[in-house]
A and B are shown apart, each in its own frame.
Chain A
C-alpha cells in the first residue's frame, strides 16, 4: 500500500477550496429561494440571504394569476417543446447512429464527418437565417418553429454511433434476420432495447438544451401564449422597468427551476456517461 497520508493542513486546504467553490455555486440559488419567499415590497429589506416577511404563497398566486395566468402556459410550452423535441430527436439520432455503426456503405465516413463538423459551427450563429427561411414558409410564431430545429441533435447521432458499435453485437442482428425479421423490426426489437442507456442520455441532453434555449424561441415566437418559460420570464424582467413587481420574475424563475432540479437529481448518472463520451472526441 502506498497510503502515505497527506498532512492535515493539505487535506484541510483541499476540502476548504472545494467548499468555497460549492458556496460560489450555491449562494445565488439560495438567494433566489430566499427572495422568492419574501413578501411584496420586502425584497430589499432584511438580510439578502435569510428569510423575512415570509409570503411564498402570495408570490406564487400572483405569479400564476398575472396576465391571465400566462405563466402556466409558459411552463406547459417549455414542457411541450422539450419533451417532444427530445423524444423525436432521440429516435432520429438513434436510427441514424445505428445505421452509421452497423451498415457499410459508400460515403458513410463522409456523412459522419459532416455531422461531427456541424458541432464546431454553433447553431445560434445561423438562427437568424433559419428564422428568415421559416418566415418565408410562414412557420414562424408557430410551435413548429421551435420544434423542427429541436428535432436535430448531431451530438445524439455521434453518441448513438459509438454506443451502437460498442454494445449491439452483429451476431444478435444476424440472428434476428435469419429468423426473418425485417430491418426495422430488428432495429426496434433488438437494437433499441440494448441501446437503452444511450437513449436516456441523449434524451436528457436534448431535453435540457431545448428547455434552456433562449435565442431560438425569442427569435421565432412573438405570441406570448406560445413562449417557453425562459423567454417569458425575461419579458417580465424587462417589464420590471415599467413597474412590474420584481417578485414576479424572481418567484417565477425559482418555480421554473424546480422541474429541472428534480430531473437533475433523479437522472445524475446519465449526465456523466454523456460527458465522458463527449470527451472521447
Chain B
C-alpha cells in the first residue's frame, strides 16, 4: 500500500523523477524525433495516451496475476498485453477518428517498444499504487515525457542555425543538451517534501 498524495505522485513523475532525464526511459524516441517541435508535441501526446491505457491494463493484469498466484508471469504478460492493446487502440482510432489517427498514426507502433511504457507499468506495480494513483502516475509521467521532448526539440531547432563543429552534430550535441537539462531538472527535487 502506498499513501502518497495524488499531487505528490504527479509532481514526482513529471518533474522530480522525470522519466527521460532521471530514469533514462524513452531515450530512443527522445534522440530520434526531438528534431522538430511539431513532431515532438504529437509524439508526446501519443505517448501520454498510450501510457494512460497501458497503466490501466497493467493494473488489471497485476490484480489478476496476484489473484491466481502467478506473479512470475508479470513481465511476459505486461509486454504482450501492452503491445496488443496499442495495436487495438490503433485500429479503433483509425475507425472512429481518422483525423486523430492521422495525427498520431505513425507514432503509435513506434511507442510499443518504448521502454517508458513498460517502465511505467513496472514502476507502478513496484510502488503498489492503487487504481487512481496509477492513472495520476501515468498522466504525470506522460506530461513529463512531453515536457522534456518539447523542450529539447526547441533547443535543437534553434541550434540548427548555430555553428557547431561537424563532429559533435546530432546525437552528441543532443546528449550534452539532455545532460544540462537533467541538471536543471534536479532543481525540482525536494518539491514534494514539507
> Are A and B a genuine interacting pair, yes or no?
no
Q: Which residues of B contact A (CB under 8 A)?
A: none
Which A residues form the contact surface with B (CB < 8 A)?
A: none
